[in-house]
A and B are shown apart, each in its own frame.
Chain A
Amino acid sequence: MPSGSKSKQEAARKARLEREAAERAAAERKKRLGILGAALVAIVVVVGIVLAAGVFKEDKADNATKTKVAGGAEVKGVKETNDLLKGIPQQGIRLGQASAPVTIIEFADLKCPICKEHELNNQPTIVNDLVRTGKANLEIRLVNVIDPNVGTTDGERARTVANNLIPTNKYWSFVHTTYYNQGAEQDSWATDGKLKEILAGVGLPASAFSTRMTSANRTAQAADQKLFTDLGATGTPSVFVQARGTREYTSVPNFNSVDDIKKAVADAAKKAK
């Protein structure tokens, strides 16, 4: 066979092999893309089912009872608050017996979503197991940490209204109910109308509503802020326990653990005078 012909045949064979290799590669790629597509569909279906049927953390405020107040507005958590606080003495910012061996002090912000979680999820157990039983009383001291960060005035306004309720001994009812009706952190929700609705839900007349910074209110705010700073607290909620008759405050870093709070109360009770 002439060398020219052989060379042509070799080139043709090479071209055929390359074409076949390219076809195989294309088929392979197509097959892989098909498998990838099927995998993506499977992922979308599985994640979709999980998210649709998934049980995310329950927001107790969403499931709370709604009470209609004057004007037709609905206030959440009135029944739950009344049930929780029923039969427990309220005096100023304190819930529970004054003679209890331990005082649990919580620094909170009515604008703080984590305080809301704590108030709705942990506080009922704390109130029922520690306050109702006389093992401790509970103080909520309001500070304002969120407003300066997000440019709102909700925390400040709600705190002022709450502190003006101290003489009525309905402070606790208002604070607990407000957490059920707390709006989103980025929204301005603590309007006069909303706060008056909460007051109505708590059973107070419209005349109890006041955003005026009275002398007593200023004193209360200053005292709360000073204790907050003196104890080295930097955020809310911050929980401390204090044995009766002492100036010793013990921090409970993991406020989410009711067991930790119970243990801190039991330890502090041994030091009560």
Chain B
Amino acid sequence: MTDRRLRIASYVIALVGVCAAGYLVYTKYAHGGVCGVSGGCTVVQQSEWSELFGIPVSVLGVVGYGLIFAALTLRGEMARLLLVLFSGGGFLFSMYLMYRAYITLDAFCPFCTTSAVCMTLLFVISATRFVRGPDLVAAATDLDADAEGDEVDERGGVDGELAGA
């Protein structure tokens, strides 16, 4: 699969993830959740682990997807590395929350799980893209299309930032 396709897949996955996290933010602020209606999501959202530093973790999730979207729009090795860092952080944090949800709370929250799966996929794709480096065909296409300043970034794997790293 070309780098371009992996990047498009990342966009789609991040979109699904931000929708799931966004829905959780909405339910958190719209009615706070009630028992007997919305099941595991509200149990998770009202739990001890639903807020970090006073910020709902669903809000942190939306912010995380926002950063991933921003990194996806950028080109170059640094953008790839940022994607690994953002999605990796999101992945580890999601795994911790999944552990709390499934093991500690014994609650199944489909939206939380969807977001965690998206973060996992984004991390795998980001790590794969980073290790593979820029696809030569895609890089050449990008070089044609992009401004001259971007050329250095996209070719960083050869003689750009990474070579100097």
Task: Enumerate chain A interface residues (CB-CB to B < 8 A).
Answer: 28-29, 31-33, 35-36, 39-40, 42-44, 46-47, 50-51, 54-59, 109, 111-115, 117, 145-146, 149, 184-186, 234-238, 253-256
Contact = CB atoms under 8 A, between A and B. Distances in A.
17 contacts: A28-B158, A31-B165, A32-B130, A36-B127, A36-B131, A39-B84, A42-B85, A56-B48, A57-B51, A145-B35, A146-B35, A149-B36, A149-B39, A185-B43, A185-B105, A235-B38, A236-B34
B105 A39 contact: no
Interface of B: 30-39, 42-43, 46-54, 81, 84-85, 88-89, 92-93, 96, 105-107, 127, 130-131, 133, 157-158, 162, 165
A57 B48 contact: yes
A234 to B, nearest CB: 5
B52 A43 contact: no
B52 A50 contact: yes
Contact of A254 (B30, B36, B50, B127): B30
Contacts of B133: 28-29, 32
Q: Residue among B35, B39, B130 with the most chain A CB within 10 A?
A: B35
Contacts of B50: 56-57
Name which of B36, B51, B53, B81 has the most chain A CB atoms within 10 A of its CB: B36
A59 B48 contact: yes
A113 B43 contact: yes
A146 B36 contact: yes
Contact of A46 (B31, B48, B89): B89
